[in-house]
């Protein structure tokens, strides 16, 4: 890596093993299979670490499902599991599910060896040898983790080098250097990893960063610069404590700042992030780099103006690179350029005077801490300029009845193009019943039915049971032959009514685009 020639680094994704150690996270076998398929066939990571040996019967079922698919797809060699220095137990478990490669967890610091295992380095080495030899007899490849390497190389380097020297006498494919407690900084990572790599230039070393100080990505980049051949990461930075280095940040950062190539399809990073967020139930901050919902949204008017006049505020992190789009926020910091960009997206034309009045209203709402989205503009324009044609679809009446242990019932009445129609439906909850009834009417009115992809309900911090509720619903809709995601919001003291307001907004938005 110290030379200027371009190299290819492996990515081992450990979302389904180390990432599942995050508190309150557990995946079903079907979810694990879905994530593994996306990571291998779409994102195209090089390797997957999918579980730890001997965990549970449920985990065994999940791994078998993944390996059954992998055999058909001829991808068995991409799957790895964490195993332990237990001679035959982990290896037998790996054989029983069809895994061909294990990542053996050994002690990478003298302190862990002598105080946790209560063994001498020589005794630990003998146990490692017995386990690796048994794996070789059973035709299973072995990579080796040096657990607590970051502390070990700083406090007991002689022990670390003794262990590596010993491992090199055995059939080991890779040696993996974990910053188990996330205690490295980038300068230390480069210094210590360089020392190891330079001492053993022919060995394939991986680096496994944790994010306790928020330095996981920076340390991964330092390790790549020091010459490792592989980096470990998890989707969305999932993992124990503060998590692991996030896959998207690791790939994009190292690629952009170092002469490094990955086999990763960047356009699929967003998709796998969404699936992991959905399956794990762990929502990420909107300002998370690469994947966060806000990271390609310009808020300040001067930035939107610069983009309009020549992409003056652009960088390598173009949203199109990741299959996303630039957005322009509307609020008290907005300028004329923000508004014009949003109107252009909606194909709405206004006079200069109308734009001035509309922008002033947006700024006033921003001062009141109200959110205005691009999707809200048609309704805001309608309110200001009294153009009821912008809201052709109207919900006239809605009644929802929810009963304990029985399905909810919704009765609605809607008007469109001079027609007034009623519909009744059941559902698993009030909003589901409403949507079932609404879909019946939309088909009769020949209006496309939007696909709900996300639903977030919030109340103000400290809010009581009578607090206003905001429902923000994301929808997938067709736009000029392409599928795009739009978000509408509703505010009401009743959660169902807030969601219904957001839904009616989306219906009118769809009509305005057709």
Each residue of 291-321: b (16+ CB within 10 Å) or e? bebebbbbbbbebbbbbbeeeeeeeeeeeee
Tokens of 426: 């059941």
Q: How many CB atoms lie within 10 A of CB 96?
A: 12
Phi-psi map region of 191: left, alpha, beta (phi>0 left; psi -120 to 50 alpha): alpha
Gap between the Cα atoms of 326 and 54, Å rounded: 46
**3-state secondary structure (DSSP) of residue 458:** strand
Gap between the Cα atoms of 255 and 249, Å rounded: 10
DSSP designation for 123: H
Strands 451-458 and 469-479: antiparallel
**Residue 340 is a catalytic residue:** no
Q: Are 260 and 254 in contact (CB under 8 A)?
A: yes
Tokens of 461: 């911090």
Q: Are 135 and 97 in contact (CB under 8 A)?
A: no
Q: Are 81 and 96 in contact (CB under 8 A)?
A: no
**Can you tell me which residue has the tokens 């979810």?**
31
Q: How many CB atoms lie within 10 A of CB 272?
A: 25
Cα angle: 510, vertex 367, 475; to 5 degrees: 20
**Residue 375 is a catalytic residue:** no
What is the separation, in whole angstroms, between the first and last Cα of the chain? 53
**Can you tell me which residue has the tokens 């017995």?**
130
Catalytic residue among 17, 47, 78, 174: 17
Please count the residues of the chain: 514
Q: How many CB atoms lie within 10 A of CB 326?
A: 16
Catalytic residue among 20, 147, 249, 375: 147
Gap between the Cα atoms of 16 and 7, Å rounded: 27
Cite the active site residues.
Answer: 17, 147
């Amino acid at each position: 890596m110290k030379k200027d020639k371009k190299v290819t680094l492996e990515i081992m994704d450990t979302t389904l093993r180390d990432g599942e150690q995050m508190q309150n996270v557990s995946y079903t076998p079907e979810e694990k299979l879905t994530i593994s398929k996306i990571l291998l066939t779409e994102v195209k990571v090089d390797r997957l670490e999918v579980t730890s040996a001997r965990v549970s019967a449920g985990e065994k079922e999940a791994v078998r499902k993944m390996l059954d698919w992998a055999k058909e797809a001829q991808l068995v060699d991409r799957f790895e599991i964490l195993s332990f220095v237990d001679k035959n137990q982990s290896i037998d478990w790996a054989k029983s599910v069809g895994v061909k490669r294990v990542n053996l967890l050994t002690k990478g610091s003298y302190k862990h060896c002598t105080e946790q295992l209560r063994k001498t380095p020589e005794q630990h080495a003998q146990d490692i040898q017995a386990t690796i030899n048994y794996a070789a007899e059973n035709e299973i490849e072995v990579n080796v983790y040096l657990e607590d390497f970051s502390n070990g190389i700083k406090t007991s380097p002689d022990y670390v080098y003794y262990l590596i020297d010993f491992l090199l006498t055995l059939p080991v494919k890779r040696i993996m250097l974990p910053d188990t407690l996330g205690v490295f900084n980038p300068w230390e990572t480069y210094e210590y990893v360089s020392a190891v790599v330079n001492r053993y230039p022919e060995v394939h070393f991986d680096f496994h960063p944790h994010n306790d100080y928020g330095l996981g990505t920076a340390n991964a980049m330092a390790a790549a610069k020091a010459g490792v051949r592989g980096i470990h990461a998890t989707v969305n930075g999932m993992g124990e404590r503060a998590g692991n280095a996030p896959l998207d940040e690791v790939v994009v950062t190292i690629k952009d700042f170092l002469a490094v190539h990955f086999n990763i399809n960047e356009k699929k990073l967003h998709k796998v992030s969404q699936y992991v967020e959905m399956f794990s139930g762990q929502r990420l901050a909107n300002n998370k780099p690469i994947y966060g919902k806000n990271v390609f949204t310009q808020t300040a008017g001067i930035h939107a103006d610069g983009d309009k006049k020549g992409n003056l505020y652009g960088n390598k992190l173009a949203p199109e690179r990741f299959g996303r789009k630039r957005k322009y926020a509307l609020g008290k910091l907005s300028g004329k350029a923000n508004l014009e960009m949003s109107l252009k997206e909606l194909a709405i034309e206004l006079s200069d005077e109308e734009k001035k009045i509309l922008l002033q209203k947006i700024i006033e709402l921003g001062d009141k801490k109200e959110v205005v989205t691009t999707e809200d503009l048609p309704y805001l324009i309608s309110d200001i300029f009294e153009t009821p044609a912008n809201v052709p679809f109207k919900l006239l009446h809605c009644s929802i009845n929810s009963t304990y242990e029985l399905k909810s019932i919704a009765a609605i009445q809607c008007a469109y193009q001079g027609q007034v129609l009623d519909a009744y439906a059941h559902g698993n909850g009030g909003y589901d019943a409403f949507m079932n009834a609404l879909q019946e009417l939309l088909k009769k009115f020949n209006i496309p039915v939007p696909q709900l992809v996300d639903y977030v309900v919030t109340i103000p911090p400290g809010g009581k049971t009578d607090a206003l509720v905001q429902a923000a619903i994301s929808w997938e809709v067709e736009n000029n032959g392409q599928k795009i995601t739009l978000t509408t919001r509703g505010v009401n003291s009743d959660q169902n009514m807030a969601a219904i307001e957001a839904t009616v907004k989306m219906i009118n938005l769809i009509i305005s685009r057709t």
